[in-house]
Chain A
């Protein structure tokens, strides 16, 4: 088995969801996590991230305020276990965030085995 970081991203020009929409999403996310967990894919649900923050860059340690230059904003993350990247991608396709035009980045965690 391998580990994957799911990074939930939302494009800057995507309007924020209304509380009603967010509320309707809660049961969908819970169902998704439940299914992942039931099939032993869920290592860590992770946490949502504040939209703002600081960016420290380069050897000059320049500090700037978020929002950031990237076109996507990282909204949160989870840690998932899957057989391989293909399976992890299939799991990501079930994420409720996709219905709201968000994206899920699937990043294999490098694990060295002896």
Chain B
């Protein structure tokens, strides 16, 4: 598990890079990163000998502030800086005031950096990598490990992203004309970041939890700013809370999965569920219903149900209908079919699956075959179920998925025909 100090460093490095970028300018992102790194290393040198201070974050910030002023005074004319700092320097004024003001509004810088990372010219995977790297302090190796992607690929992704960012002088302004469009890109990036933790490739619980926590931390930042706290933001954070609440029951310490219907609901996080429900209320203010609203609604019904059997599946199906209207996808259709099977029987579920329009897009998705297998099993055809489980196991994307599917495959032999266990990808 991570030490608390790790979190201090991760989060502070993101905040410091954002504030320093606001001072030095986006085109000097590398300098901001170097100064941050330097501040962290100096602090660590001192703490190694003197011990940790009570408030490491405050120490880091004042170290970074001093380093920023050193750079500005030493390289006064060697570089161009962000407009407000450049103005102070041009008037021959001391830049200390401007630096102090920017560090005083560090959350603002963090938020604007988030928007900058979601540049329209960048692919979604690059945006997510940038957010993780710049704002969450993840190293290239850590991002590679979390996404099961080689370090070289991540390095390229981040370099590509930074090259595009360097084209701007300043952090994104929340008052810019394309704010609304950017905001939905930011939502999407945080959604993908969360999903990487919740559904993604890593088999380490700690890594998954941390990705989910980071997405939620940045989501909270959006909820705390009046410009970004729109209903869709609340819905997004609601869905994150309601899903994260299930994480302790979903992945055990050994990294093994337990699917929704089998989870010990006692282990769901009641505080996160309460947060999620409160955010749901806030998300209901406008008249817009986003995919995040529909997903949060589904998660909220699950969260309120005492057991799988007591779940109002028809309500779940109706929210999946909404989701299919807003953001149709074969995975959503599959989950809808599984919910339908819960209220109308396994055969009905199998029928629905056979009617999924672009079913071929699920050909590499292990849980498509796992779903078929579970329903065949429940419909009384263990042979067909075995075939599907075999196929699913072949497609497993991680040892964790493989172990789950092998467990189910083993269950297939000698299982009662009316077995009630089921896989639900939701």
- The listed residue (B3, B44, B49) touching A46 by CB distance below 8 A is B49
In the assembly, what is the distance between CA of A19 and CA of B41, in Å? 6
B9 on the interface (CB 8 Å rule)?
yes
Chain B window 1-13, contacts with chain A (Cβ cutoff 8 Å), 1 for yes, 0 for no: 0010110010000
- Closest-by-CB residue of B relative to A75 is B45
Using C-beta atoms within 8 Å of the partner chain, give the interface range for chain A. 10 to 19
In the assembly, what is the distance between CA of A46 and CA of B45, in Å? 12
Tell whether, in the assembled complex, residue A22 and residue B48 are in contact, meaning their CB atoms are under 8 Å apart: yes
CB contacts under 8 Å to A, within B369-401, are none
Chain A window 42-79, contacts with chain B (Cβ cutoff 8 Å), 1 for yes, 0 for no: 00011110000000000000000000000000011010
B51 on the interface (CB 8 Å rule)?
yes
Tell whether, in the assembled complex, residue B6 and residue A48 are in contact, meaning their CB atoms are under 8 Å apart: no
Tell whether, in the assembled complex, residue B49 and residue A47 are in contact, meaning their CB atoms are under 8 Å apart: yes
- The listed residue (A16, A29, A33, A45) touching B41 by CB distance below 8 A is A16
Residues of A within 8 Å of B48, CB to CB, are 22, 25-26, 29, 48
Residues of B within 8 Å of A47, CB to CB, are 46, 49-50
Using C-beta atoms within 8 Å of the partner chain, give the interface range for chain B. 10 to 19
Residues of B within 8 Å of A33, CB to CB, are 49, 51
Residues of A within 8 Å of B47, CB to CB, are 26
A111 on the interface (CB 8 Å rule)?
no
Chain B window 28-72, contacts with chain A (Cβ cutoff 8 Å), 1 for yes, 0 for no: 000000000100110011111111100000000000000000000
Tell whether, in the assembled complex, residue B49 and residue A48 are in contact, meaning their CB atoms are under 8 Å apart: yes
- Closest-by-CB residue of B relative to A48 is B45
- Closest-by-CB residue of B relative to A78 is B49
In the assembly, what is the distance between CA of A53 and CA of B144, in Å? 39
In the assembly, what is the distance between CA of A16 and CA of B40, in Å? 13
The 4 closest A-B pairs by CB, nearest first: A22-B44, A48-B45, A29-B48, A19-B40
Given contacts A22-B48, A26-B44, A47-B46, 10 further A-B contacts (CB under 8 A): A23-B3, A23-B6, A23-B44, A25-B48, A29-B48, A45-B49, A47-B49, A48-B45, A76-B45, A78-B49
